[in-house]
């Protein structure tokens, strides 16, 4: 069964850091682009970042560029999101998602994790 399981969320003060992980199973992890999407309480979906299967190419939303870093360890089938300089507006449920067709992000995301909650508050 194809599965994604996020971890690493929690409560952090403004300016702090957190690293999220997404453990993948049931598919050839290195063959697919992976994405982080977040959803603040009571709001819609916001794309955060995407990384290619090899990890060579990364893309970020303007709202997180320079503060967040996406990476992956294909030997461990794990996706990461390093979040630095956190702001209250980064409070959200963060979910990882798998690209539905190989390296291309153009065909949508067909498998999603249940998400991990990040709360930025003093």
Partner 1 sequence: DIQMTQSPSSVSASVGDRVTITCRASQGISSWLAWYQQKPGKAPKLLIYTASSLQSGVPSRFSGSGSGADFTLTITSLQPEDFATYYCQQTNSFPLTFGGGTKVEIK
Interface residues with partner 1 (CB under 8 A) are 35, 37, 44-47, 50, 59-62, 95, 97, 100, 105-110, 112-115
Q: How far is the CB of 112 from partner 1 (least distance, A)?
A: 4
Closest to partner 1 by CB, 13 or 104: 104
**77 token code pair:** 């089938």
Residue 28 or 57: which CB sits closer to partner 1?
A: 57
Given the complex with partner 1, which of 75 and 106 has the nearer CB atom?
106
| 46-63-3-80 Cα dihedral, nearest 10 degrees | 180
* 89/110 with CB nearer partner 1: 110
Question: Which letter does DSSP use for residue 17 in this model?
Answer: -
Is 44:25 a contact under the CB 8 Å cutoff?
Answer: no
Q: What are phi and psi of 2, to 5 degrees?
A: -75, 130
Residue 84 C-beta: closest distance to partner 1, Å:
19
- Which of 103, 100, 81, 101 is closest to 92 using CA atoms? 81
User: In angstroms, what is the minimal distance from the CB of 62 to partner 1?
Assistant: 7
């Amino acid at each position: 069964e194809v599965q994604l399981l996020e971890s690493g969320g929690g409560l952090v003060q403004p300016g702090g850091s957190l690293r999220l992980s997404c453990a993948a199973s049931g598919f050839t992890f290195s063959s697919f682009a992976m994405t982080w999407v977040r959803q603040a309480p009571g709001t819609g979906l916001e794309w955060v970042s995407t990384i290619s299967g090899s990890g060579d190419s990364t893309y970020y939303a303007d709202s997180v560029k320079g503060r967040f870093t996406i990476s992956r360890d294909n030997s461990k089938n794990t996706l990461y999101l390093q979040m630095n300089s956190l702001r209250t507006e980064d409070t959200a449920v963060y979910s990882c998602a798998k690209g539905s067709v190989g390296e291309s992000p153009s065909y949508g995301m067909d498998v999603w994790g249940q998400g991990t909650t990040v709360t930025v508050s003093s």
